[in-house]
Amino acid sequence: MKTKFTLLAVMIMAFFFTNAQQVPNNSFETWTAPGYAPDGWVTLEQLFNGFISGFAFKDTVNFIDGNASIKLVSDSTSLDPTQGVIAGIVSLGSAHTVANVPVYTGIPFPYRPDTIIFDYQYRTPVYDTARMVIEFTTNHVPGLGFSLLLDTTDADPLSWGEVTYPLGADYLNASIPDTLFLQFYSSITPNHGLKKGSTLHVDNVRFGYAATGVNDVKALNEIKVYPNPASDVLNVVSAKDISGSNMQIFDVTGNLVSMRELKGFFNNVNIINLANGNYVYKITNTQNEILGQNKFTVVK
């Protein structure tokens, strides 16, 4: 029993450890009233307490993960027409203003990811460029910082694309960061000519930690298992053919209660014989690499 419990504890700890190193509210699903910004993030609307609007929206129709994405729009504001077109922005953490200039604080983040991954869709009336900005600091000293530009020519305006960017070569030193700054803009700086109406959707922002032994987050996000809670069937949907992979289900004591070989892109896993309660599933490929792992509840 001790061995079984230890196995389950390691699995659950690994799941929470992986998520602790992830971007909070990474699919922009939670927006607490008055809804100026997704929880854990800041927008111009929130920064100026709703006195300006039209730059950031929760989009529950056009998204790639969960039930929402964030929609950033470049536009002008009647509050200060002299500013011309302003880029929609979302920044991780909080912010304040100094002489009406935003100062962003980032979030505590004592981790060192290898990869940043996100899904996006970019539509513009004419040529324009969006950007993602990421920076890690240690005691206010930059350890990594760069901008990733998303040109109109890089994106299909009718579909979503995925960016997978390795971070390893961009680290300036071996220090473990203490703060993460992460921002998305619908257009870049004014001297490049912001275009009114440029629209950037962002969703499913996450990190990968392949070099540190933590499960590859890209793989985890390519497999969806639902519903949760479930009663008789779990649906397993994968972006890739996972034929030959196995799905194991463990109860709270660590006992293996079900195992099923998976095929293709979509599988229905019968759980009709499972009693009400909490379980953990684990999906591994033919190389015994973990493709997905999470808790779920059976309610009948």
User: Of 16-30, 32-46, 77-91, 186-200, which has the strongest mean pLDDT?
Assistant: 32-46
Model confidence band, residue 201 (pLDDT cutoffs 50, 70, 90): very high
- State the pLDDT at residue 82: 62
pLDDT in tens, 251-300: 877 788 999 999 887 788 999 999 999 888 888 888 877 777 778 889 98
Model confidence band, residue 217 (pLDDT cutoffs 50, 70, 90): very low
Residues 230 and 247 sit within 8 Å (Cβ to Cβ): no
Domains of the chain (ranges, CATH numbers) = 2-14+217-298 (2.60.40.3080), 23-212 (2.60.120.890)
User: Of 47-51, 78-82, 124-128, which has the strongest mean pLDDT?
Assistant: 47-51
- With pLDDT > 70 as the criterion, what percentage of the chain qualifies? 83
If one compares 236 and 69, the residue with the highest pLDDT of the two is: 69
Average pLDDT over residues 8-23: 53
Average pLDDT over residues 66-70: 94
Residues 63 and 73 sit within 8 Å (Cβ to Cβ): no
Taking 80 as the threshold, does the pLDDT of residue 216 lie above it? no
User: 10 Å Cβ neighbour count for 259?
Assistant: 12
